[in-house]
Amino acid sequence: TAPVQEFEYKAEMKQLLDLIVHSLYTHPEIFLRELISNGSDALSKVRFNALTDQDILDKESELAIRLSIDSKELTFAIEDSGVGMTEEELIANLGTVAKSGTLGFMQSLKEQQKELDGNLIGQFGVGFYSVFMVTEEVTVETRSARPDSQAYRWRSSGQGTYTIEKIERAQRGTKISFKLKEDYKEFAEEYRVEQIVKKYSNFVDFPIYLADKQLNSITALWQRSKNELKDEEVNEFYKFIANDYKDPLDYLPISVEGMVSFKSLLFLPSEAPPELLYRQGELENRGPQLYVKKVLIQNECRDLLPEYLRFISGVVDTEDLSLNVSREVVQSSPVMAKIRQILTSKILGWFETLAQEQPEKFRTFYKAFGPIIKIGLNTDFTNREKLIELLRFESTKTADDSYVTLKEYTERMGSEQKEIYYLSGASRSQLLAHPNLEYFQEKGIEVLLLTDPVDVFVIPSIHEYDKKPLKSLEKADIDFSKEKKDDKEPLADNLLAPVLQLFRDTLGESVEDVIESHRLVSSPVTLVSGKDGLDSQMEKMMKMMQG
C-alpha cells in the first residue's frame, strides 16, 4: 500500500477552522455554493489552459460538475473535470490560509459578535473549509491536468492534521466526498440540493449534474450580446429572477470593458408594485443581483444603483471584485462606485432612447415609475439635467393622456413669455377650474398642471429651465403688468384703497395681505401665497405627513 503521509495544519489554520465551524457560520447550505464555485474556478482554469497549452490531460472531456448523494448513507460527493491539484498544490491550497490577516479579521468578527455570513467566507480564501460545518471528515481525490501528473488523496477531519497519499485516478480533476453529519441529512436529499444549486449557482457557466440531470437550467444570458438574445428566453429569465409573473416592459443588455469590466442585463418591470409608490423606504433594499465571475454574491444589491433606480431588476456580473466580497466591502469598493456610475448613466440613456423611439412604452414606464424617478432630482445632482429632460407634464394644452416636456413647453411658448408657469393640485379637472388659471387660459399661455403628489417637492427645486424661471401660479409675485393690456376700466385709486382695506379688516389674521389682482378674468377673488410662502398643495402634503 502507498505510504500515507501526515501533515499538520499551520497553527493559524486550527484556530480558523474552529472559528468557522463553531462560532461564525450561520448558513450551512453555503458549503455547496463554495464547493461548486471552486469546481467552477478549476474548470475555468482548465478551459483557459486548453486554449494556450496543447498538452493537457483528457483534453476532450466534458467541462462539468457532478454531484452524487445517497440519502440512506448520507454521503455527498462533488466532482469536477477541472485543473486538479498536484501534491504541492494540495499542501499549499488546502493546508494553509492563502491570505494573510484572515485569522485576525475573523477573530475581530467574533469579538464583535458578528455573523460570518455566506458572503464573507469566501473572501479570505477559506471557502473550502465551510464543508467542515456539515461533516466530520473530508476526502479530496485529485489529479492535475498536467499530462504526466500523479493522483493524490487528501483527507482531514479539520482537527489540526491532514494526510496525503498517492492513488490511482484515470481522469483529471477533483472529487470531494464526505459523509454528512446527522443534523444535515437534508443535504443528501435531491430536492434540497437542487434548490440550493438553483438559488446560488444557477448561472454557473458549466453544467452541474445530479445523477445525469442538469440542475442549472438557465445559462448566463447576460454574457451574451444583444443579437444573441431571444425575447422569450429573456422574459423567462426575468420572471425567474424578479419573481414576477408578467413579462418585463423592456430590457437592456450592457457590456462594459475598460476601467472596470462588467456585463449586465437589466429589466424594467411592466408595472410598479403598489407599495413602491407609497412607501419610498421599500426601495431601500432592492436592486439587481450582483455576480462575481458568474457566482451569485448578493441577491438584491442596493449598492449597484442609486435609490431612485432600484425598481430596476436584473444581473450585474463583474470580474473586478474578489469572489464573495462582503457587504461592507461591496459598499465601499471603488469598483462598485464606478459600476454604479456607469449603470446610472446607461439607464438614463435607455429611458431617453425609449422616449424617442418607443413613446408608448415610455409612457407606460413613466406612469408607473415617474414618481420614483423624480426622487433623483433632489438626490442625484450629477444626473439632474438628464432627469429634468425626462420629466413629463400634463398642461392646459395637452390632450387627455398626453404629456409635454419642459423642452417642448419652452419651444412653443411665445417670445414675450419669460417664465414657465405651473399649478399644482389633486387632479386635472380640479386644476382646470382654478380661478388662478383664468388669466392664462384667456391669454392662451400654457400652464403645467402638476397632479403627482411628489411634484410639489421636486418641481419648485428646478428653479429654472433654459434660463426661464419656473413659477407657481399661486405666487403673488407674478408680473402681469407687461402682459396686461386690459380693455376694462381700472378701478380708480380712491375706490381701490377702501375696498382693499375692507377686505383686510374683515379677514384679519387669516391672510397675510390683500392686494389688487390683474390675473382674474371672471372670478372676483382668488387666494395666492407670498413670494416666500409655501405652495398650497405643498402645505397640504406637509400637514398630511405631520399626521
Is residue 292 part of an annotated ligand binding site? no
**Which residue has its beta carbon closest to ligand ADP?**
127
Is residue 148 part of an annotated ligand binding site? no
The CA distance from 315 to 294, in Å, is: 10
- Give the nearer residue to Mg ion in terms of CB position, either 121 or 268: 121
- Give the nearer residue to Mg ion in terms of CB position, either 125 or 533: 125
Tell me if 196 sits within 8 A of 216, measured CB to CB.
no
Q: Which of 244, 213, 252 is nearest to 64 (CA)?
A: 213
- Residue 251, judged by CB atoms within 10 A of its CB (0-12, 13-18, 19+), counts as buried
In this chain, which stretch among 124-132, 179-187, 254-262, 386-394 interacts with Mg ion, using CB under 5 A? Answer: 124-132
The CA distance from 449 to 476, in Å, is: 18
Q: Smallest gap, in angstroms, from Cβ of residue 321 to ligand ADP?
A: 13
- Give the nearer residue to Mg ion in terms of CB position, either 323 or 372: 323
CB neighbourhood size of 366 (10 A): 19
Residues 34-53 that bind Mg ion (CB under 5 A): 38
Q: Which of 197, 220, 218, 216 is nearest to 316 (CA)?
A: 220
Please provide the DSSP assignment of 79-123 as one string: EE-S----HHHHHHHHSS-SSTTHHHHHHHHHHTT--B-HHHHGG
Q: Smallest gap, in angstroms, from Cβ of residue 82 to ligand ADP?
A: 5
Is residue 119 part of an annotated ligand binding site? no
Is residue 100 part of an annotated ligand binding site? yes
Is residue 132 part of an annotated ligand binding site? no
Is residue 85 part of an annotated ligand binding site? yes
Is residue 123 part of an annotated ligand binding site? yes
Query: Of these partners, ligand ADP, Mg ion, none, which one is at the site of residue 80 (CB under 5 to 8 Å by kind)?
Result: ligand ADP
Q: List Cβ neighbours of 467 (8 Å cut-off, separation of 6 or more).
A: none
C-alpha angle 264/267/270, rounded to 5°?
A: 180
Is residue 173 part of an annotated ligand binding site? no
The CA distance from 400 to 189, in Å, is: 58
Query: Of these partners, Mg ion, ligand ADP, none, which one is at the site of residue 253 (CB under 5 to 8 Å by kind)?
Result: none
Q: Smallest gap, in angstroms, from Cβ of residue 85 to ligand ADP?
A: 5
- Give the nearer residue to ligand ADP in terms of CB position, either 42 or 234: 42
- Give the nearer residue to ligand ADP in terms of CB position, either 141 or 452: 141
- Give the nearer residue to ligand ADP in terms of CB position, either 4 or 98: 98
Q: Smallest gap, in angstroms, from Cβ of residue 322 to Mg ion?
A: 10
Is residue 34 part of an annotated ligand binding site? yes
Q: Smallest gap, in angstroms, from Cβ of residue 141 to ligand ADP?
A: 11
Residue that is written with C-alpha cell 471557502 in the block: 127
- Give the nearer residue to Mg ion in terms of CB position, either 252 or 325: 325
Contact flag: residue 118 with Mg ion (CB under 5 A): no
- 173: cell is 480533476
Q: Smallest gap, in angstroms, from Cβ of residue 197 to ligand ADP?
A: 16
Binding residues for ligand ADP, rule: CB under 6 A, are: 34, 38-39, 42, 80, 82-85, 93-94, 98, 122, 125-128, 174
Q: Smallest gap, in angstroms, from Cβ of residue 125 to ligand ADP?
A: 4
User: Which alpha helices (DSSP H) does 317-358 contain, by range?
Assistant: 327-332, 334-357
- Give the nearer residue to ligand ADP in terms of CB position, either 41 or 303: 41
Is residue 101 part of an annotated ligand binding site? yes
- Give the nearer residue to ligand ADP in terms of CB position, either 56 or 514: 56
Half-sphere exposure of 161 (CA within 13 A, CB side): 6
Q: Smallest gap, in angstroms, from Cβ of residue 130 to ligand ADP?
A: 8
Is residue 38 part of an annotated ligand binding site? yes
Q: List Cβ neighbours of 241 (8 Å cut-off, separation of 6 or more).
A: 289, 313, 314, 315
Q: Which amino acid is at 15?
A: Q
What 3-state class would DSSP assign to 186? helix
The CA distance from 464 to 388, in Å, is: 11
Q: Smallest gap, in angstroms, from Cβ of residue 121 to ligand ADP?
A: 9
- Give the nearer residue to ligand ADP in terms of CB position, either 106 or 478: 106
Query: Of these partners, ligand ADP, Mg ion, none, which one is at the site of residue 83 (CB under 5 to 8 Å by kind)?
Result: ligand ADP
What own/partner pairs with CB < 8 Å and gap ≥ 24 does 392-400 have?
A: 392/363, 392/366, 393/422, 393/448, 393/449, 393/450, 394/428, 394/448, 394/449, 394/451, 395/446, 395/447, 395/448, 395/449, 396/432, 396/437, 396/440, 396/441, 396/446, 396/447, 396/449, 397/446
Contact flag: residue 156 with Mg ion (CB under 5 A): no
Contact flag: residue 324 with Mg ion (CB under 5 A): no
Query: Of these partners, Mg ion, ligand ADP, none, which one is at the site of residue 174 (CB under 5 to 8 Å by kind)?
Result: ligand ADP
Dihedral angle of Cα 444, 424, 528, 414, to the nearest 10 degrees: -30
Q: Count of residues binding Mg ion (CB under 5 A)?
A: 2
Q: Is 239 left (phi over 0), alpha (psi -120 to 50) or beta?
A: alpha
Query: Of these partners, ligand ADP, Mg ion, none, which one is at the site of residue 126 (CB under 5 to 8 Å by kind)?
Result: ligand ADP
Q: Which residues are annotated as a binding site for ATP?
A: 34, 38, 80, 85, 93, 99-101, 123-128, 174, 327
Q: Which residues are annotated as a binding site?
A: 34, 38, 80, 85, 93, 99-101, 123-128, 174, 327
Note the residues at the interface with Mg ion (CB under 5 A).
Answer: 38, 127
